[in-house]
Structure 1
Amino acid sequence: MNKAVLRTSLAALLALSPTLAFAHPGHGEAVGFAHGFMHPLSGLDHVLAMVAVGIFAANLGGRALWAVPATFVALMAVGGALGMSGVAIPFVEIGIAASVIVLGGVVALRSTNWPLGAAMAMVGAFAVFHGFAHGAEMPADASGLNYAAGFLLATAVLHAVGIGAGIAIGRVGANAPRFTQALGAVVAVAGVGLLAGVI
């Protein structure tokens, strides 16, 4: 692994860490499209996981480019509906941190031979936790449609960023796999930090 790439990736992660934390606790009012859109963008856990989904999809290529992110968004909507309705899901924070670790690990290992159904199932399972965290922020007496539309669109944007990054990195030449692996490793390490509560 290229040490300069790893150092640059770690520096970028550390620069982001002070301003980004878990997206769900203590956001105050969470009503409307704008709040919903900003919610995924305000937490390092969500940003890393969603961009990693996009990079994973780009690494798989073919139908996975749209099917993997679409599955995430669809099951995130299900999780959001559960959160808004007050249904209890255990271990949400652990599930979200685990998603960052696993998705970062999959990118770090540059796994490109996943069956499409397995890739969709894996990201979909994690999407429920992310959606639940967003939906649980919605006040019980407010309509969740605009809020949900906001966080789903932000998620799609983050996936598109990941796909674009994965495709762009793939075109840089012989070092592309190592750079992608370094990014995945940084994401996975950040996930461990989130799980341990140090980030």
Structure 2
Amino acid sequence: MPRKPPRALFLIAACAIVTSAKAHIGTDLGVHAEIGVLDGLLHPFTGLDHLAAMLAVGFWSALSARRLWTTPLAFASMLLAGALLGLAGMELPAVEPIIAASLLVLGLLVALRTQMPVVLAAALVGVFAVFHGVAHGTELAGAANIEGPLLGMLLATLALHATGLGLGLALRNTAWVSRMAGAGVAMLGLTLLTQLT
């Protein structure tokens, strides 16, 4: 009797479905004026690109790293730094293309189970996280009390990393699943890049 594909595979494959290159909710000071921790918790789920990236970071760490939490913590820290930059009004060039490129790269790292020195891995995801964070911070600008949304966003990010780690650890002995999951995330990134050009 053939084994059924794990449910996690379908969840990850769903990340490859794209309806729009602009996966963010946009900046509207009136909408974000009265937001709190719950809004921050939900915010990373509003963009398929951010959701896939955070899951992929955890998944890749589970497949390739000896210190499982180093790369996810680097991403979360630099995401927060980027969000603070975005809240301060700082603009970085090519935010959307680099976010899309991050999915392509992270997807390939998962698919190929690429191993690299921990410092290099942390630096790589950290650079990507800054751009994800700037996008989030720009969207959250205008909130009266920003500490709550930032805390919620950080907790949601860590939860998504933990979910990715859990999936990666559960599926690390099933190479075809990681290849398909990584390919799905990479395809999402490639599709977003294509739509942005």
TM-score above 0.5, yes or no: yes
**Quick one: percent identity of the two aligned structures?**
41
Unaligned runs of 5+ in 2: none
| Cα 1:136–1:115 shift into 2, 3 Å | same
| Cα 1:149–1:20 shift into 2, 3 Å | farther
1:61 positional shift = 3.1
Letter matched to residue 107 of structure 1: V
Letter matched to residue 52 of structure 1: A
Q: Which moved more, 1:28-37 or 1:114-123?
A: 28-37
Report what 2:162 is aligned to.
Answer: 160
Report what 1:129 is aligned to.
Answer: 131
Runs of 4 or more, structure 1, over 6 Å off, are none
Report what 2:70 is aligned to.
Answer: 67
For 2:69, what is the secondary structure of its paired residue? helix
Q: Equivalent of 1:144, from 119, 124, 146?
A: 146
1: distance between equivalents of 2:15 and 2:127? 28
1:41-91 alpha-carbon deviations (Å, 9 max, x no partner): 12110111110000111012321x111000001001110000000011111
Letter matched to residue 136 of structure 2: H
1: distance between equivalents of 2:26 and 2:78? 21
Letter matched to residue 125 of structure 1: V
1:26 positional shift = 5.9
1:165 positional shift = 0.3
TM-score normalized by the length of structure 1? 0.84
Report what 2:24 is aligned to.
Answer: 23
- Contact 2:21 2:192 survives alignment (8 Å): no
Report what 1:186 is aligned to.
Answer: 184
Unaligned runs of 5+ in 1: none
For 1:137, what is the secondary structure of its paired residue? helix
Q: Equivalent of 1:53, from 57, 64, 76?
A: 57
2: distance between equivalents of 1:33 and 1:54? 23
CA RMSD of aligned residues (A): 2.6
1: distance between equivalents of 2:12 and 2:132? 26
Aligned pair count?
Answer: 187
- Contact 1:73 1:127 survives alignment (8 Å): yes
1:144-198 alpha-carbon deviations (Å, 9 max, x no partner): 1111111111111110110000000024xxxx11210111011101111122239
| Cα 1:107–1:14 shift into 2, 3 Å | closer
Report what 1:42 is aligned to.
Answer: 46
Letter matched to residue 163 of structure 1: L
TM-score normalized by the length of structure 2? 0.85
2: distance between equivalents of 1:19 and 1:25? 13
2: distance between equivalents of 1:15 and 1:181? 13
1:14 positional shift = 7.3
